[in-house]
Structure 1
């Protein structure tokens, strides 16, 4: 015991000797405390996202923010500018128009991350176009192709709008759960990761609007909302016809639960929301996306 005490005394004296030197301590910080300079796009984001919605758009590459199991590319600056304007017009302001800006301020995710490429999974041969993390963060992939698809609403729907509305639907039902009756309609047909092995027509006949809806009930629920509001009534009726009598009946049962959920839980009329979303989508071509 005495030996250890002796070592401690020597160590303490050594520290004292080291600290009592004549080196002058500078009063300047060695750390960079200056806020990073904001470019014009950053200033636009402050005015159009941070101030009204308290949303941070992250478009500058930070690998720690992404899933490192994928090979991903950064989002381009010009593509990010276009995407930010489209999201605001087609997604945020569509809900503002229906439910008021306070609704979006309260429930919208506080961070949206742009990634230039899609997240491709070689094992399942599928691409992830968007994810939502606990209602706080949404990641949108494939941003760098936006310029090639401005005039193609079907591609915009498939790559972006469907994804945005799908992920926001998750935030809504994670905040206020939907009826457990929903998952009882097709309980034995959910197949998990094997959804990508299902054809569209097969999924429809089994009571699902898309193959991805067969993953699990939460995805089924979100797919109904995003599919319905990003397509017109002609598309929806065609989908039901393709589903056959049995499949259409199952889809309609689910849809009625979804419609009632939005109305009763959020005071949102899904048909009115679809009308606004489709109108705003058709107006993208009239937006000046090159100038902020």
Structure 2
């Protein structure tokens, strides 16, 4: 509704500015005035994603798809196929292999919006992706996407790429738990430790309190999907390394190393159980497939 209220005055203003020419029509991108001839890129997106999965990808710039107070840049067209092809391999194909095409078609988001840059927030954090109602996913930082085989790729670029996969897995995790909620026991593990100041917490400090990432501390739901996405993207060895990296002693909140590790292992067990009981998915098998695809793209 807020977007509608902003759009209407803009349309009225444009109409008034042309009052001396009643026959004039302003073409506003995204509101029906923009047309273009389909390119090979459009055909690839249509044949690869729209036809089999009913997924649409919007890469041509339309500011109304984003927050109007943010300064963003359009995605580079040469990045679109590498990004969406990688997402298909790491996220789509792995879920289909474990849960079947019917499951994926039913629950996957149907609309992807791409931005070339990150979306900066007032508190200094950046938004790397959002999901709306389980149907629309917005992905940022598309122009920074680099994988093995692309000109100029360096191993250090892998963190940016893994972050994009992390966003996809995170947002899909939200879709799943908003469809069927995860066990209430998950909320008890770190009750009383969630905070709105998560952006001031380091990775190590989060781990020492039993959280897989600082953002996990934002809420129960974010904790759950951060567990899902981190376990999938980092793989079993990567997740085990996080658990084992917790130093001796206690955190500033009085959590011992043993308790922090126990919290992470309890969350891991509940994630695995949830996927098995609710979705009939072998999470460890999905984890292995996902990490293998990431390794093939990056190393």
Provide TM-score, normalisation by structure 2.
Answer: 0.80
Instruction: Indicate if the aligned counterparts of 2:236 and 2:287 stay in contact, CA closer than 8 A.
Output: no
Aligned to 1:266: 279
SS at match of 1:230: helix
Tell me, in whole angstroms, the C-alpha distance in 2 between the residues paired with 1:227 and 1:47. Answer: 31
Tell me, in whole angstroms, the C-alpha distance in 1 between the residues paired with 2:34 and 2:238. Answer: 53
Per-residue CA deviations over 1:15-67 (Å, capped at 9, x if unaligned) read: xxxxxxxxxxxxxxxxx999742111111111111111111001111111112
- Confirm or deny that 1:56 pairs with 2:52: no
SS at match of 1:203: helix
Name stretches of at least 5 consecutive residues in structure 2 with no aligned partner.
1-31, 147-151, 247-256
Aligned to 1:234: 237
Root-mean-square deviation (CA, aligned residues, Å) is: 1.9
Tell me, in whole angstroms, the C-alpha distance in 2 between the residues paired with 1:96 and 1:226. Answer: 17
Aligned to 2:84: 84
SS at match of 1:232: helix
Provide TM-score, normalisation by structure 1.
Answer: 0.82
| Equivalent residue in structure 2 for 1:175, among 157, 179, 201 | 179
SS at match of 2:123: coil
- Confirm or deny that 1:256 pairs with 2:269: yes
- Rate the CA distance shift 1:58–1:33 in 2: closer, same or farther, 3 A: closer
- Confirm or deny that 1:278 pairs with 2:277: no
Tell me, in whole angstroms, the C-alpha distance in 1 between the residues paired with 2:35 and 2:115. Answer: 24
Instruction: Indicate if the aligned counterparts of 1:153 and 1:282 stay in contact, CA closer than 8 A.
Output: no
Tell me, in whole angstroms, the C-alpha distance in 2 between the residues paired with 1:150 and 1:41. Answer: 26
SS at match of 1:109: coil
Task: Give the ranges of 4+ consecutive aligned residues of structure 1 lying more than 6 Å apart after TM superposition.
Answer: 32-35
Aligned to 1:224: 227
SS at match of 2:94: helix
Tell me, in whole angstroms, the C-alpha distance in 2 between the residues paired with 1:80 and 1:214. Answer: 33
Aligned to 2:169: 165
Per-residue CA deviations over 1:211-251 (Å, capped at 9, x if unaligned) read: 00000011000000111111133322221123321111111
Aligned to 2:11: none
Q: How does 1:114-153 map to 2 (within 5 A)?
A: 114-121=114-121, 123-147=122-146, 151=155, 152-153=157-158
Aligned to 2:161: 156
Per-residue CA deviations over 1:117-142 (Å, capped at 9, x if unaligned) read: 00111x31111111111101001100
- Rate the CA distance shift 1:188–1:157 in 2: closer, same or farther, 3 A: same
TM-superposed deviation, 1:153: 3.4
Tell me, in whole angstroms, the C-alpha distance in 2 between the residues paired with 1:230 and 1:257. Answer: 18
Instruction: Indicate if the aligned counterparts of 1:205 and 1:242 stay in contact, CA closer than 8 A.
Output: no
- Whichever of the two has the greater Rg, that structure is 1
Most deviating of 67-76 and 47-56: 67-76
SS at match of 1:139: strand
- Rate the CA distance shift 1:285–1:226 in 2: closer, same or farther, 3 A: closer
